[in-house]
């Protein structure tokens, strides 16, 4: 059943009443564009994240971690697959166009995938800090998301990201209880990943943020970021690591940690594909897509041959 | 000992699949064997949906913890069995309905097209590969929903 709304005010009041928009509804163009851009960035991030994870399949310390890296890779690529389907259904860009734009550096993916993971310690920091930040953001979208197809996919993605969090905690516990060298490796990774993970939430939400107004997101960026800080700063310290924030302070009265001023320049650079590892990663993803074309062709041909 | 066995069974049933919060591993058909001796020693035999499933260590730890917490339990052993092989037939109708409703995930039973959990129409396979080895990605022919299908 296709629904239509007289004007934006009627549509917004439908959303404010908790209305859920479905793919064949006549939604306002601005809404369609905003939801599409959001899902496209999520899809791109799953694909880029999956490729990062994949890089570590041959290099994990031990079989236990190899299984978790394999599983995470399949999860992320699978999530990307589902999200590209949902995004393409919005009929703004086809999946091919989205991928072309990604490989041409014309569309965005999360800041954390513009950096290089140098050691296994980086993978632990990513699984522990970045996955937690991504999960918190996704949960805040899922809680109240007005676009039905995305909300239903998010429910499954969040369950699986919750599983990744547990794998991240497992990796973290192992390295935190490890040798001095292992702890040094993790501290080095923490120094590299603390700020990018924190910046994943983005700068403070603007008062007129349409993502909030149209119930695509349900929490302000600064609220989510603060929750993350309050959880991870004491946790990292309890494991004996140093939080790389020179102006870190604790407000006794409020019972809260403050990381001090945040430099948003690195985030802006990554969004313009100017991060430390952006160019290599985008080229890698493009090459990978070309190299695996024959597999997709073979699958397509197999599907057209009668059994 | 029947009382203890029931309590242990309930403890195992309280363990959810790590990728489906709210869905018990017992309802997914993972519990194959449960032996409780007169002394209260427990042996649990589980079977994996897929042998390379990355959640095996986690599920085993969760079962160990749940069973250990039961009053009167002695030694606990949890092992992954190599047979029988898990199939989707081990998922009961209520659990199928639950994961359809909660996660928009269908279960492939028999050779017919899996039904869309949202509208009941047949789905067609979009990709053999989903986010997990035990799932493919389908699309509903009526409401166009993106559906994952559990298979064995």
Q: Which residues contact A140 (CB under 8 A, 6 or more apart)?
A: A217, A218, A219, A224
Report the pLDDT value the prediction gives residue A301, as an integer from 0 to 100: 87
User: Is the Cβ pair B18, A163 closer than 8 Å?
Assistant: yes
User: Is the Cβ pair B52, A86 closer than 8 Å?
Assistant: no
Which H or E run includes B22?
A: strand B20-24
Instruction: Supply angle C-alpha A182, A183, A185, rounded to 5.
Output: 65
Report the pLDDT value the prediction gives residue A307, as an integer from 0 to 100: 56
| Cα distance between residue B29 and residue B59, in whole Å | 13
Q: How far is B34 from chain A (nearest CA, A)?
A: 26
| Cα distance between residue A278 and residue B13, in whole Å | 46
pLDDT 10s per residue in chain A (307 long)? 789 999 999 999 999 999 999 999 999 999 999 999 999 999 999 999 999 999 999 999 888 888 889 988 999 999 999 999 999 999 999 999 999 999 999 999 999 999 999 999 999 999 999 999 999 999 999 888 999 999 999 999 998 888 888 888 888 988 999 999 999 999 999 999 999 999 999 999 999 999 999 999 999 999 999 999 999 999 999 999 999 999 999 999 999 999 999 999 999 999 999 999 999 999 999 999 999 999 989 988 887 776 5
Cβ-count burial of A146 within 10 angstroms (0-12 exposed, 13-18 middle, 19+ buried)? Answer: buried
Q: In the CATH scheme, what is the homologous superfamily, with its name and number, of domain B2-80?
A: Fe-S cluster assembly (FSCA) (3.30.300.130)
| Cα distance between residue A174 and residue A255, in whole Å | 30
Residues of chain B neighbouring A64 (CB-CB closer than 8 A): 57
- Residue ranges per structural domain of chain B: 2-80, 88-150
Residues of chain B neighbouring A74 (CB-CB closer than 8 A): 129, 131-133
User: Is the Cβ pair A153, B146 closer than 8 Å?
Assistant: yes
Report the pLDDT value the prediction gives residue A161, as an integer from 0 to 100: 87
Report the pLDDT value the prediction gives residue B1, as an integer from 0 to 100: 56
Q: Which residues contact A157 (CB under 8 A, 6 or more apart)?
A: A79, A82, A138, B131
A195 touches chain B (CB under 8 A): no
- Residue ranges per structural domain of chain A: 8-302
The helices-and-strands tally (H runs, E runs) of chain B is 3, 9
Q: Are A152 and A83 in contact (CB under 8 A)?
A: no
Residues of chain A neighbouring B133 (CB-CB closer than 8 A): 74
pLDDT in tens, B66-113: 999 999 999 999 999 999 999 999 999 999 999 999 999 999 888 888
Q: Which A-chain residues 244-263 have CB contacts (< 8 A) with chain B?
A: none
Whether domain A8-302 has CATH 3.40.980.10: the reply is no
A43 touches chain B (CB under 8 A): no
Nearest CA in chain B to A71: B54
Report the pLDDT value the prediction gives residue A169, as an integer from 0 to 100: 87
User: Is the Cβ pair A166, B18 closer than 8 Å?
Assistant: yes
- Of all residues in chain B, what percent carry a pLDDT higher than 70? 99
The CA distances from residue B111 to A139, A253, B108, B115, B152, in Å, are: 36, 64, 8, 12, 12
Report the pLDDT value the prediction gives residue B151, as an integer from 0 to 100: 83
Report the pLDDT value the prediction gives residue A71, as an integer from 0 to 100: 87
- The model's pTM is 0.91
The backbone region for A91, taken as left when phi is positive above 0, alpha when psi lies in -120 to 50, beta otherwise, is: left
Residue B119, φ and ψ in degrees, nearest 5: -125, -5
Q: Are A87 and A164 in contact (CB under 8 A)?
A: no
The CA distances from residue A96 to A87, A88, B15, B72, in Å, are: 12, 9, 41, 60
Which H or E run includes B96?
A: helix B93-103
Alpha-carbon torsion (A122, A137, A84, B91), positive or negative: positive
Cβ-count burial of A252 within 10 angstroms (0-12 exposed, 13-18 middle, 19+ buried)? Answer: exposed
Report the pLDDT value the prediction gives residue A144, as an integer from 0 to 100: 87
Q: How far is B25 from chain A (nearest CA, A)?
A: 15
Cβ-count burial of B94 within 10 angstroms (0-12 exposed, 13-18 middle, 19+ buried)? Answer: exposed
Interface predicted TM-score (ipTM) of this complex, two decimals: 0.83
| Cα distance between residue A145 and residue A302, in whole Å | 38
Report the pLDDT value the prediction gives residue B133, as an integer from 0 to 100: 78
Q: How far is B39 from chain A (nearest CA, A)?
A: 33
Question: Quick one: pLDDT band at residue B134, thresholds 50, 70, 90?
Answer: confident
Mean pLDDT value across chain B? 92
Report the pLDDT value the prediction gives residue B13, as an integer from 0 to 100: 97
Residues of chain A neighbouring B55 (CB-CB closer than 8 A): 71, 163
């Amino acid at each position: 059943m296709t629904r239509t709304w007289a004007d934006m005010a009627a549509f917004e009041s439908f959303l404010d009443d908790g209305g859920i928009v479905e793919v064949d509804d006549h939604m306002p163009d601005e809404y369609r564009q905003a939801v599409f851009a959001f899902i496209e960035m999520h899809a791109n991030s799953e694909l880029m994240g999956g490729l990062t994870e994949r890089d570590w399949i041959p290099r994990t310390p031990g079989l236990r971690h190899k299984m978790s890296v394999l599983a995470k890779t399949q999860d992320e690529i699978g999530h990307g697959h589902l999200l590209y389907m949902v995004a393409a259904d919005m009929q703004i860009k086809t999946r091919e166009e989205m991928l072309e734009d990604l490989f041409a550096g014309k569309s965005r993916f999360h800041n954390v995938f513009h950096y290089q993971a140098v050691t296994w310690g980086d993978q632990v920091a990513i699984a522990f800090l970045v996955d937690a930040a991504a999960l918190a953001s996704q949960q805040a979208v899922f809680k109240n998301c007005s676009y039905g197809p995305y909300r239903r996919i998010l429910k499954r993605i969040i369950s699986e990201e919750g599983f990744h969090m547990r794998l991240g905690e497992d990796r973290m516990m192992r390295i935190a209880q490890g040798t001095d060298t292992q702890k040094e490796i993790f501290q080095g990774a923490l120094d590299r990943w603390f700020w990018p993970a924190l910046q994943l939430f983005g700068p403070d939400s603007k008062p007129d943020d349409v993502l909030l107004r149209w119930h695509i997101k349900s929490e302000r960026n600064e609220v989510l970021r603060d929750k993350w800080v309050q959880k991870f700063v004491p946790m990292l310290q309890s494991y004996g690591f140093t939080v790389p924030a020179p102006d870190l302070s604790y407000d006794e009265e409020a019972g809260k940690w403050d990381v001090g001023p945040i430099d948003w320049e690195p985030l802006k650079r990554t969004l313009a594909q100017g991060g430390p590892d952006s160019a290599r990663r985008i080229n890698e993803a493009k090459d990978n897509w070309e190299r695996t074309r024959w597999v997709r062709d073979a699958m397509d041909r197999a599907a057209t041959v009668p059994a | 000992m029947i009382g203890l066995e029931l309590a242990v069974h309930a403890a195992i049933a309280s363990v959810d699949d790590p990728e489906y919060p709210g869905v018990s591993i017992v309802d997914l058909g993972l519990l194959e064997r449960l032996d409780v001796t007169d002394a209260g020693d427990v042996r649990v035999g589980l079977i994996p949906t897929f042998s390379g499933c990355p959640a095996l260590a986690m599920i085993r730890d969760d079962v160990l913890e749940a069973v250990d917490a039961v009053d009167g339990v002695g030694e606990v052993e949890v092992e992954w069995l190599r047979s029988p092989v898990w199939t989707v037939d081990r998922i009961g109708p209520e659990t199928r309905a639950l994961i359809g409703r909660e996660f928009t995930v269908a279960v492939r039973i028999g050779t017919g097209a899996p039904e869309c959990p949202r509208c009941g129409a047949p789905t067609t396979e979009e990709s053999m590969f989903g986010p997990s080895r035990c799932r493919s990605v389908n699309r509903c022919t009526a409401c166009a929903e993106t559906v994952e299908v559990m298979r064995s």
